[in-house]
Chains A and B, each alone.
Chain A
Amino acid sequence: MTATVSQPLRVVGAAGQRGPLLKIDDVSLEYRTPERVVRATHRVSFDVHAGDRFVLLGPSGCGKSTLLKAVAGFVPPIEGEIRLDGERVRAPGPDRIVVFQEFDQLPPWKTVKQNVMFPLMQARGLRRAEAADVALHYLDKVGLANFADAYPHTLSGGMKQRVAIARALALRPKVLLMDEPFAALDALTRRRMQEELLALWQDAAFTLLFVTHSIEEALVVGNRILLLSPHPGRVRAELNSHQFDLHSQGSAAFQQTAQRIHRLLFDTPAPDPAADTDIADAADIPPRTARAR
């Protein structure tokens, strides 16, 4: 890494000396529609270190979600390689758990507790009693211990996302992947979820790869932001944002960085500094293309 980090983040384990945990090296991705093959990203490289809250930010069509799915192992790169802990990513696996945006990621036939226990037993080989203990511990952390025996269809959207987060954390993946996890939530719930995610990170110090299209969310959630340009996705910049949190949103530095990101992404100044910094609303961008599955 050539970029200098002004304030060293806390180093988790010995990973700080070992170099990056996740290495994305010149990765190009393509997806197929019935008519054509579309290039989603072109030779994207970046490194994620242990304990990072690494954000992929860009407008629709920059391939950030496809990139996340490639890290998860769902989409094979057509060139370049993705290495996690030195090992090449080839298939989906429980060391890279994804929290999706969609609410239907929780199997509806399992209660909240069973939903967290299921991968623990299947992927980690825990016995039922152990899995139940771990599940309750993490459900307690996301404030859902009282809903352990409820079925997902009885929960609100925010609660479902909390279960998905608890399930992901309980598995202790090497890297937690989040694909616009709060995009389908209302603004108030979204803010609270961001707050809770940061609290959980303070608590458990996991490594996070987070995809969003909101500049504000990127600045709040991330400590480092990769900016991607659309059609196809290419790296535009990599910035630090560890100095910002939920309380610095109104500050001058926060607004300045937000405008800088806006300029980097669209090569035009933000129309109104006070306006919502949601990229999808703030700029004239082509309609959302079909997402790679």
Chain B
Amino acid sequence: MTTIATTTTQSLPPLRPEYERELEPFTATAVARALPLRQRLWQNSGLRRAVILLVLAALWETVARLQNNDLLLPSFLATAQAFIEGLTTGELLNKAAISLTILLQGYAAGIALAFVLTTLAVSTTIGRDLLDTLTAMFNPLPAIALLPLALLWFGLGSGSLIFVLIHSVLWPLALNTYAGFRGVPETLRMTGRNYGLRGLRYVLLILVPAALPAIVSGLKIGWAFAWRTLIAAELVFGASSGKGGLGWYIFQNRNELYTDRVFAGLAMVILIGLLVEGLVFRTLEAATVRRWGMQR
């Protein structure tokens, strides 16, 4: 082994003896131990969020007390009181239900249309051009700007609201979904085609799950856009057929200078947003993209 020519002037490392060790089972200390309670609590994202909300509420209360003008900025406690009052009389829940019904109709229709458009876009060249052109044209157009037209076409009712809702959901969702489809790894596509999948089955069984992170983020953006559009539409044009939703509730109470109720209405919008984000989207992500290791 060590027949290296000794004529070299370079000094060689010394020859060291080999050794072996018998290892006893490891008992010196526990191999794994629990984290301290404080660190475990801090790892709970719900708790962290609750702390953030509490701090914000405390900040609001302080600013409102310093301001001391209920008409401009009611305090957090006053708002909470108006909110609870709205809940107990059922008015707030009623308005929220009206808004949500229309919102969900528009949202669902927007999702369905986005799916049709993106499926066309991945399967044909003309479909892709159609999607590109339409999103470039309509995505920058504020939904509220279409409302006068919609009222002209569909009349003063939920029809025109649903129309603008579809407009606000469709384009961002279609853009995100299509970007997700294009990002599906080539190997995965080939695997799907290798199974003999094509057309709608290929899109549903391979592309949609593979692009789900992008689709979920599109759904979130669409949901937020839909809320903004709905509340804005109700604020601007008031009640449709006498049955207003949350936007109308906010508008009406502002007219009557019940600022605490205006805040309660806004809080309801925020609360529904938090609930949907925390329950629906978080559960969806936990059950899918996170479980599959596609998103951390």
A interface vs B, CB < 8 Å? 72, 74, 91-94, 96-98, 100, 102, 104-109, 118-119, 122-123, 151-154, 293
Contact = CB atoms under 8 A, between A and B. Distances in A.
Contact of B194 (A97, A106, A151): A97
Interface centre among B195, B288, B294 (most CB of A within 10 A): B195
A106 B293 CA distance: 12
A282 to B, nearest CB: 27
Nearest to A164: B191
A107 B195 contact: no
Contacts of B212: 109
A109 B187 CA distance: 15
A105 B185 CA distance: 9
Contacts of B206: 107
Given A105-B187, A109-B294, A122 B193 contact: no
Contact of A104 (B187, B201, B292): B187
A74 B190 contact: yes
Interface of B: 185-188, 190-191, 193-197, 201, 205-206, 209-210, 212, 288, 291-294
A94 B195 contact: yes
B188 A151 contact: no
Interface SS of chain B: helix
Contacts of A74: 190, 193
Nearest to B205: A122
Contacts of B190: 72, 74, 92, 98, 100, 105
12 contacts: A74-B190, A98-B191, A100-B190, A105-B191, A108-B293, A109-B294, A122-B195, A122-B197, A122-B201, A122-B205, A151-B291, A154-B293
B196 A122 contact: yes
Contacts of A72: 190, 194
Contacts of A102: 185, 187
A163 to B, nearest CB: 12
B294 A123 contact: no
A107 B210 contact: yes
Contacts of A107: 188, 191, 206, 209-210
Given A74-B190, A102-B185, A107-B188, A93 B293 contact: no
A180 to B, nearest CB: 12
A238 B92 CA distance: 81
Contacts of B201: 122
A97 B195 CA distance: 8
A59 B188 CA distance: 26
A108 B194 contact: no
B196 A123 contact: yes
